[in-house]
Amino acid sequence: MTFVPKDWLPQDDELGGKTILVTGAGDGIGRAAALSFARHGAEVLLLGRTEAKLEAVYDDIVAEGGQQPGIIPADLAQTSHDDLMALAAELSKSLAKLDGLLHNASILGDRKALAQTSAAKWHESMQVNVNAPFMLTQAVLPLLEQAPMASVLFTSSSVGRRGRAFWGSYAVSKFATEGLMQVWADELGGIGSVRVNSLNPGAVNTAMRRAAYPAEPPDTNPEPAALMATWVYLMSDASSGLNGQALNAQG
């Protein structure tokens, strides 16, 4: 967590006045991030594939006194460019700007040797983990450009920085995520108000981690909520100097 200044603590209204879209907001890290952004004053837009989970997060945010969130049910495995352009057009009717975009939703895909990975599973991982974040960023870019300081955060992984056997399409999709982040950052950084970075959460106790490491005691790893100061920092204007960085939340 070296990039977060040692003495930095978010103010209660650190994200006040900001609207932040979170993908995969129904569970795990995305759920914790949405709750944390709302606790710090943001209006959050909850995008995910399981509407009941988004509604539960909505209820939690409202029960805590947060701003009423938006719910965007969408299965990123199925969404087309047209769907995402239509979503952005719909958002533009009620939003003057978008201050933050957390690309968090991902799937593990086949945890197999590449030699055994099915082409269908490969395409699905690339669709959810890479194609959808590319298309969504492109679709909402005009809204991001209306914000005085917007932050786009891609979610990476250690296997997206150093390939590892049997991580297949997931690892390759995370390498692509880093590439996507770098190209957006180089195109947008310095000429406007949109900054783009990637964050590797490290090991976190979520459904994805438990599926990837079934033999590992779940309490080996921190809960998502324990790490959220880093996500808040990256959505806050406090991190406005960061662009094009591949960051680590732990270690």
The residues of the shown chain that bind ligand NAP, judged by CB under 6 A, are 24, 26-30, 48-50, 53, 75-77, 104-107, 128, 155, 157, 200-201, 203-204, 206-209
Q: How far is the CB of 177 from ligand NAP (least distance, A)?
A: 8
- Selecting among 58, 170, 213, 233, the annotated active-site residue is 170
Q: How far is the CB of 96 from ligand NAP (least distance, A)?
A: 26
Q: Which of 55, 33, 53, 52 is nearest to 44 (CA)?
A: 33
| C-beta closer to ligand NAP: residue 147 or 171 | 171
Q: What is the maximum alpha-carbon separation in the chain? A: 51
User: In whole angstroms, what is the distance from residue 94 CA to residue 79 CA?
Assistant: 22
| C-beta closer to ligand NAP: residue 189 or 222 | 222
Contact 100, 73 (CB under 8 A): no
| C-beta closer to ligand NAP: residue 27 or 43 | 27
Q: Indicate the residue whose CB is closest to ligand NAP.
A: 28
Q: How far is the CB of 125 from ligand NAP (least distance, A)?
A: 10
> What is each CA distance from 122 to 98, 128, 129, 235, in whole angstroms?
31, 10, 11, 31
Q: Is 58 a catalytic residue?
A: no
> What is each CA distance from 16 to 25, 110, 125, 221, in whole angstroms?
19, 40, 34, 30
Q: Which residues are catalytic?
A: 170
